[in-house]
Structure 1
């Protein structure tokens, strides 16, 4: 995708949200930098169309990057007839309010990328969950309170997707996300929801497991993106900063209040191992709750199968074999049950 904007202070947030559907390059009309022409599946503009100079700048940028048939979504800040006419004049395939909710924006982008037909239920649930993850991490990064209602909606969406018992479809959509942190949250939450469903947990327990998975890495919102998105190995100091995220997430949830004790504990303890070799507290055996044991299994498995620029993803069989070889670290009974989630045949 290519995002054309004249308000760079907003572009990073929009770019990161759009990364749900894949890589997104940005052209800032205030500081034009050459963006190498490439095959674009979708062009998006977030520009003040009441400014004639901006309209002409958008027109020139489109001419450089638009091929025949490439859809163009124009975000309108002023939904007046005049700006709608301007959008049509520069060739918009669709228009949407720049203030449209993230769910509406992502749904429209998905429709334009994947065709005009109605999306499948799992895709609809995935978009809803992605919006929740984006909102959660943005709020956490700013130091704002998380929205319990939004989180409940994300938990519901992920659990209903798990009801379909189509983990492969969920994984395919996760891989389309270009932001590593969003991808990981959605991956662990999808695995945990499928795990709880496979264990026939009642709905209340399923919501607790999925909620814990959704929030387990919330502390990473306070880790600099330059470290989280670094393409190579981390330095010792960068690793020290990353390893603070369980404590940061715990303090964040504890200070806000209103979250179940088990969810707060999962944010703090999901890197603990039963043999005491984990962090940040070196918990052992019965000090690690059953829910945390589930989240840890999903978290480690997710890290093994994730695609990164610096490592190839493991195949499911190899990733599960790696978990099975972690003798003494993971709960063996839960690990056997997890096999039916990721290697059902």
Structure 2
């Protein structure tokens, strides 16, 4: 059961929510739409569901053009962020609701409904709460009931709009794992919307990164993290330090600081070419002494964070618009203890992996 959107455009008054967006989701995939608020991800999900209609373009579900069809004709299950459960109905009746309102010739018998609801509640591990009301449940339990209700009518496609956004961090983590296991069992072609990069990386088989109504990149979690296609993706997926400058010999000259790194494939690029280097905190090494010509920094802040130490270091003897004021570095606990660093200490900075963007050009990623 595949999902395809072709050249979709949608505007609200003077605001273009989607700008010529195309996307394919293969049968059985679990895909995340990821991006900041207002980037168009929820609008795209609603276009696919039939809750809103496109201005231009087409929606195809399993090879059928459903662009003008109502949500009831699309075989879609939709799960909202805030559950949308009926407060006056028990858990059992909430899940049974979609089956009870089917046309008479499509509606299962009462025994079939009862069997189906208990199967679903057992699947989401909530059958023991079937007689309770939504107000008597935790947020995580209510979201699982909402998912069971969406699955009750056996949808061909499952669409989830920020399904865990209203929950606290611990519950979200638990439900992410649960959703991934559930999808592995059911194999329903699914799309979920999130602004949480960790959630997308943990749950989805592919991630669609969106910004300003356009798709910036589509790829596996590994691809969008390790090989970002644009400065936006590099900055949005994970933490990153950005250095602006020009190539000079084997270094990036920021106008007062030299980073001894050169983008792969740039041997034929002349000096003085403007580049930006995007370096993740864990792609730095810190040294107390070196014979190499490496940039000098001072340790400004140290924070233990479980398995890693997070440090803030500031450049020494440099004033440049191309440098961040503070450089974020992450070291494994073992490396930090071996260095035995303290605040105020001088260190040397080495980059081990860099994402490069020449002004106006696609990304180049590689080792220093």
Give the number of the structure whose residues are more often helix, by fraction. 1
Asked which structure has the greater RCO (Cα within 8 Å, sep 6+), the reply is 2
Q: How high is the TM-score relative to the length of structure 2? A: 0.27
Give the number of the structure whose residues are more often strand, by fraction. 2
Q: How high is the TM-score relative to the length of structure 1? A: 0.28
